[in-house]
Amino acid sequence: MIKDHRGFTLIEIITVIIVLAVLGLFTFSFLDQAIKTYTAGTRQRVIYQEASYIMERLTREMRDMSNLATCSESTFNNSFTFTRRHRTAEGVDNLAVTYRRDAGTNIMYRDGSGGMPHIIGRNISLFRVVRGVSGSTPSACNCPFSVMLTLQTGDQSITLDTTVTPKNTGTSSYSDRCFNGDYEDTIQ
């Protein structure tokens, strides 16, 4: 007499183990990729925020540039010096400002305001200011600058590029400011 044994055969057990192993492999692979993507996105966001801060600070001060002495050259690598028209809230009389990148340490400094240089950012692999933008003809009232900034940490990097037209160049007063050649203020 054959007894009725209920259970699993060896083939059924091996089949279940293989199916569960494949499902587990896909599940953990998916989770691992999601974690790596989140981590990379977080690092990229931090780099972007740092680059945005540096670019915003630099362009705000460049818009208040008063002299065109810096326009005698066309490309500035790692250093850019200019004179602002107005004082900052600090009220320091020295209006000369220099943004410079130390190529050895990849640290960007802001010199000026009559004191010690301030660290503006780290991991700066490229800082370039180019006078004139393609298709533009610089004049006393229109001296656009292209600013390029690259931050890099490990395998993450971000490059920001913008155009700045100083609003106070070509004039010693507010009576005839011009904006990228698009229009001019004439105050009478």
One digit per residue, the tens of pLDDT, for the chain of length 188 reads 667 777 888 999 999 999 999 999 999 999 999 999 998 888 888 889 999 999 998 888 888 887 655 455 677 888 888 887 777 665 555 678 888 999 899 999 988 756 678 888 899 999 998 887 545 454 545 567 888 999 988 888 889 998 887 775 554 444 455 554 555 555 44
Q: How far apart are CA 168 and CA 95, in angstroms?
A: 14
Q: How far apart are CA 85 and CA 177, in angstroms?
A: 12
Q: What is the pLDDT of residue 81?
A: 85
Q: What is the pLDDT of residue 150?
A: 92
Q: What is the pLDDT of residue 60?
A: 86
For residue 27, give the 3-state DSSP assignment.
helix
How is the chain split into domains, by residue range? 36-181
- Is beta strand 96-102 parallel, antiparallel or unpaired with respect to 107-112? antiparallel
Question: Taking the model in full, what pTM does it have?
Answer: 0.67
Q: What is the pLDDT of residue 173?
A: 47
Query: Is the Cβ–Cβ distance between 62 and 166 less than 8 Å?
Result: yes
Q: How far apart are CA 102 and CA 124, in angstroms?
A: 9
Q: What is the pLDDT of residue 156?
A: 83
Query: Is the Cβ–Cβ distance between 66 and 83 less than 8 Å?
Result: yes
Query: Among candidates 56, 49, 51, which has minimal Cα distance to 106?
Result: 51
